[in-house]
Chain A
Amino acid sequence: QSALTQPASVSGSPGQSITISCTGTSSDVGSYNLVSWYQQHPGKAPKLMIYEGSKRPSGVSNRFSGSKSGNTASLTISGLQAEDEADYYCCSYAGSSTFVFGGGTKLTVL
């Protein structure tokens, strides 16, 4: 159960697009297509942003999108806005009723 690998930080200017990667192994991300992504603002509980790899819950902006290729899942945020500045975490099933999160990525909107 090693944490999925995410970049520690990414940044972008308002209006730009950024992509956060989430790399696992053939035992987690590679085997299961349905990675989820969570946004967390300081002092707040995490919020579901993407589920089943690329689906958005009701109320989440369509500026957020998810994809996967091989052992790596990605979260793309287009048209960056100031309120997107937060920590982002990916999560994958790892078999036997267990799950693993990524280490988290701090997004800075310049």
Chain B
Amino acid sequence: EVQLVESGGGLVQPGRSLRLSCAASGFTFDDYAMHWVRQAPGKGLEWVSGISWNSGSIGYADSVKGRFTISRDNAKNSLYLQMNSLRAEDTALYYCAKGTLLVPNHAEYFQHWGQGTLVTVSS
């Protein structure tokens, strides 16, 4: 059974940093691209970032480009999101999602989701 468990969320002041983690199990982690998707309170889903199996292809939403960095450690079956210069508008539930391909492309979709970790940016 595929399991994705996010951690690292919490309350952080504007301008500070936070690192999210996603522990994956139940599948061969380095066979798939992975993604972060967020959902602000009462709002819709927003794709944040995705990374290919070997970290060779990475994409970011314009809203986080230059501030967030996605990475993965295949030896640890883990996905990460380093979030710097956090803003109030980054407040959201952050989901880790498993892709279906080695490299994200037009055929990619999000097959499995974690339960999310809540990030609150406030002074």
Contact = CB atoms under 8 A, between A and B. Distances in A.
Interface string B66-106: 00000000000000000000000000000100001001111
Interface residues of A, number: 29
Interface string A24-36: 0000000111101
Nearest to B33: A97
B74 to A, nearest CB: 18
Contact of B47 (A32, A51, A91, A96): A91
Nearest to A45: B113
B110 A46 contact: yes
Given A46-B110, A48-B110, A48-B111, A99 B45 contact: no
B1 interface: no
Nearest to B46: A101
A98 B106 contact: no
Contacts of A46: 37, 45, 95, 110, 113
A103 interface: yes
A57 interface: yes
A5 to B, nearest CB: 12
A65 B52 CA distance: 29
B61 A93 contact: no
B109 interface: yes
Interface in B17-67: 35, 37, 44-47, 50, 52, 57-63
A12 B111 CA distance: 28
Nearest to B62: A1
Given A3-B44, A97-B57, A101-B37, 15 more contacts: A32-B106, A36-B109, A45-B113, A46-B95, A48-B109, A51-B111, A57-B111, A87-B44, A91-B110, A93-B105, A93-B106, A97-B104, A98-B59, A101-B45, A101-B47
9 contacts: A34-B107, A40-B45, A46-B95, A47-B113, A48-B109, A87-B44, A101-B37, A102-B44, A104-B45
Interface of B: 35, 37, 44-47, 50, 52, 57-63, 95, 100, 103-111, 113-116
Q: Which 6 A-B pairs have the closest CB atoms?
A: A97-B59, A104-B44, A32-B106, A36-B109, A98-B59, A45-B113
